[in-house]
Amino acid sequence: MSVARKILSNTFIQVSGKIMAALLSVIVVKFITNFLSVDGYGQYVSVYEFLAFFGILADLGLFTISVREIARDESKADFILGNTITMRTLLAFGAMLLAILIVFIIPQYQGTYIPVGVAVASISVFFSILSGTVSSILQVNLKMQYPTIGLLGSKIISLGYVAYIIFFAFSSPSPTAFYQLLWAGVIGNTFMLGFTWFYAAKYAKIKFLFDFTYWKDTLWKALPYGFALVLNMIYFRIDSILLLLLKNPTEVGLYGVPMKILDILSVIPVYLMNSVLPTLTIRLKTDLAAACRIIQHAFDFLLAMAMPILVGVQVLAYPLIFIISSPEFLSRLDEGFYGSDIALRILVMAMTFAFLSSVFIFTLIAIGYQGKLLFISLTGALFNIISNFFVIPVWGFRGAAFTSVLSELIILICSFLMLNHYLKIQLRLKGPLKIVFSAAFMGVIIWVLREPSYHIMQNFNILVLIPLGGIIYGGMLWITGVINKDILRLLKNPS
């Protein structure tokens, strides 16, 4: 199998799996938002947003650095993986313990479900981190179908348990019901860890190793990128925390529904670039022209993924939120009430910028300049935090959403300029312009059909409009030449 085919196949498997997992997650959100109040869902979201800060401390960039190092010397795969597992396990345990200790002393969280909820959900996050660590060996071998299956299995199990809690075990919300909804994630991630571990063991010996010299060297390499990840998490997650501290759980709940959607979509660039990273690292040393082609293809691919989402959400945000949540979360502009659909329209712009910046960020890592990411991430984090303190008290989640857009735009511009300083690249605009045109054409057609289809199907018209939009967009990509026979051949014959 060619390198291009392996990367495309590996990414296609992960993205396809993530789409299926996203559908399952949407059902979970639908169940929970109809069971809990907006305030209750806001507390549910706050549990995971709080843990997200500490979860990133358990990584510190070790996953990405380990993938890069294994790609450089596959003979050391067992050694690298064993030490990485040990480091991440200890970091994960320490981070989750720290999260539990801190959450119980925050005054604003007292009298809510959040402290105990964090203690329960920390187990789920711990298992998820370990699963991600073990999957690094499968990532290097481009065998990510196994973690993808594990992810789908975990979502199915979690969905089943959530359905049991809501439809059979409890007739109305209660503290016990709230915590049981969090236990659903623990049960699902337990399966995912076991499944991923089983298949990863077929490609490398998984054991805990304690080479402290290697730890010191690896942590030194990973810390710049790790700190950048922490800063990224701050400007990506701080919105929800500040909304709770400066406003109320209802604002967090309204903001949380679109954030859940974007959380699902945000893994697409990570999956692609983690698949590209081993090959890109090698090509940057041996064939610069080939490396530039990889960067161009990655940029085009992520733009092609982001644009239909951006355009489609602008047209269909209201019925989309209706489908995945409850009427409580929808805007009632005649009453001056702004709902989750408004937040989604704004935040999807931030997602688009994040998709594109990931290409430049991962390329900086591939050439060994991950330390430069600190400046970029610090700039974005400072802007986000300072801006939110001004805009959230006045505009609530709308202000937080616009701040996220500007923060991601700053990251995109800075990462491109930084990469271009060290590696002169010239992105061709012919393909991207065709992609933008194709998405715009799709958006116009869907906008024209939205009103007449609403009279027939109400908000359920998106069940027709989304697939139709996908067909129109795919057709336009074919007509404009973005998709060609070579790409289709790679998809049809991934082995």
Please determine, for residue 109, whether its predicted confidence score (pLDDT) is greater than 50.
yes
Indicate the range of 14-23, 301-310, 441-450 predicted with least confidence: 14-23
pLDDT band at 398 (very low <50, low <70, confident <90, very high): very high
Do 239 and 325 contact (CB within 8 A), yes or no?
no
Average pLDDT over residues 378-391: 91
pLDDT band at 8 (very low <50, low <70, confident <90, very high): low
**pLDDT for 371:** 73
Residue 184, classed as helix, strand or coil, is helix
Question: CA 136 to CA 218: how far, in whole Å?
Answer: 15
pLDDT band at 492 (very low <50, low <70, confident <90, very high): very low
Sequence-ordered list of residues with C-beta below 8 angstroms from that of 73, at least 6 positions apart, any chain: none
Q: How far is CA 76 from CA 194, 207, 289, 303, in A?
A: 24, 13, 28, 35
Please determine, for residue 128, whether its predicted confidence score (pLDDT) is greater than 70.
yes
What rounded mean pLDDT belongs to the chain?
86
Can you say whether the dihedral through the CA atoms of 286, 287, 292, 293 is positive or negative?
A: negative
**pLDDT for 479:** 93
Average pLDDT over residues 466-473: 96
Average pLDDT over residues 453-463: 93
Sequence-ordered list of residues with C-beta below 8 angstroms from that of 66, at least 6 positions apart, any chain: 80, 81, 84, 136, 218
